Amino acid sequence: MTVEQKIRELHHFINGALVPGTSGRYSHVYNPCTGEVIARVPLATREEVRQAIESAKNAFPKWKSLSGGKRSEIVQRFRQLVKENQDELIEIICEESGKTRGDARGEIQRGLESVDLAINAPHMIKGEYSVNVGGEINMFSRKDPLGVVAAISPFNFPVMVPLAQTSMAVATGNAVILKPSEKVPISALYISKLWKEAGLPDGVWTVINGDKEAVDELLENEEVKAVHFVGSTRVAEYVYQTGTKFNKRVAALGGGKNFMIVMPDTDLDQAANAFIGAAYGAASQRCMALSGVIPVGKETGDKLVAILKDKIGKLKVGPYTDDETDFGPVISKESKEAILGYIERALDEGAKLVTDGRNPEIAKTSNGFYLGPTLLDEVKTDMEIFKEEVFGPVRIVVRADSLQEAIGIINSHELGNGVTIFTNNGAAARKFQDEIEVGMVGVNVPIPIPVGYHNFAGWKRSNFGTGVMFGPEQANFFTKRKTISEKWLAIGDETEAAFAFPSDGGSK
């Protein structure tokens, strides 16, 4: 069998079936652990996206009219199928993203939290009712689905983020189009198979593969009523500005530069363990990964850096097939080269190299996109490595003399996704919670990601608009409120024209 024959040909998923691409444009899907091409995915034209939108539009009325309970039954069946097929889904995630099996399993579990919440959609979209608000008029509200909605998902969570973006949209009666990252499309297509098996009507769930051309059609097409995006800050801003220009409801969640403050009173060994797991897990390719640590005080900083150096040196980088691997490769060769560039420029600007992960042992025998853990000390706020989100295992130490200075360092950054403090001092924790300008805050919790029934969203340039991921606010995002005033007239009642603005004067 030739190499070409081994490469899988992927498709779109439209109207309940796999549909080959017609554009003639393709993108390669790599196994980051080996550097090998494992599939090629078609990149849709605008016309292909329009056809997918039309299919979703046609499926919407029947799905909308189905009772909330019946929709929840299908969502619940989908959840069961994800659990039953979890092992196969884990292997798919690992192969196309390079994650360890433990990390992939955790991702699926967090994704299922969003499905669990969506099962309760009928409760979450209940309206309000008031009797006799005036003049024997009863008033009530209802929440209706928007219609065709789109989700654009990133490569770093092939399952969790799509489930978090789309489960509530499906459950509240919308027809959903998912545009996954072209780097990890296999997981999305597998999810499509499970939705169909769960009984979701054809056309309600669509996967369209593509690049900017497909994204632009989703953003500009008037039949798409809302767009939910997760990815880099630069693209999030583009999606938000373009989508709102075309009068869409847009949630655009961007990147993060997430810091951990370490106070002198904390257990430094515990703090170091927490930092390492939250900083380097998944090769640091998480928007909530800890980007850096801010020890307060010189003595704290010196001791913590020494502990970190020792512990980081023991981390093992390798493929997901090795159960002893702590984390795997980055997603692509281009990503690896960009990360190496950040390290070189940081050193040129005066950062101090504590641990050097540029040439891990496995890179000598593998073509995978491996980088070991790098830690840079004495980083200043005017350095590029401080300002930019680096999606790879390069973490920084920014020193501060006081808690107030540490808070100021964090608040000066344009991103505000996640942050945490490690301390045993309640007053310090309270001050931190009150003054920090970040959307998700942890106290002795290294990655303060909300559970599925709490809202996930950053501040500042980590989030454009008011949309969220996870949580009950998603039910509001994917529905529109209709308020109805209702009065029943008895036959023969005398009425006359009224010209004053209506008000409740206590009369009939």
Catalytic residue IDs: 287
Length of the chain: 508
Beta strands across the sheet bearing 440-443 = 352-355, 374-377, 394-397, 290-295, 258-262, 418-422, 440-443
Q: Is the dihedral of CA 367, 232, 288, 351 positive or negative?
A: positive
- In the three-class reduction of DSSP (H, G, I as helix; E, B as strand; rest coil), residue 302 is classed as helix
Only one residue has tokens 């997603």, namely 331
C-alpha triplet 219, 479, 163: angle, nearest 5° = 70
> DSSP secondary-structure letter at 140?
E
The H or E element spanning position 230 is strand 224-230
| Token pair of 229 as six digits | 């995006």
Token duo for residue 103: 């990390």
Rounded to 5°, the CA angle 328-333-335 comes to 80
Q: Angle at the Cα of 105 (from 391 to 338), degrees rounded to 5?
A: 15
CA distance 88 to 485: 52
Burial (0-12, 13-18, 19+ Cβ within 10 Å), 200? buried
CB 392 within 8 A of CB 339: yes
Burial degree of 424 (CB within 10 A; 0-12, 13-18, 19+):
exposed
CA distances from 463 to 178, 287, 334 (A): 20, 12, 26
Residue matched to tokens 């070409």 = 4
- The CA distance from 336 to 150, in Å, is 30
Identify the three-state secondary structure at position 7. Answer: coil
Sign of CA dihedral 266, 269, 274, 280: positive
Q: From CA 290, how far away is CA 154, in angstroms rounded?
A: 18
- Tell me whether strands 440-443 and 205-207 are parallel, antiparallel or unpaired: unpaired
Beta bridge partner(s), residue 14: 17
**Residues 81, 83, 84, 87, Cα dihedral to 10°:** 130
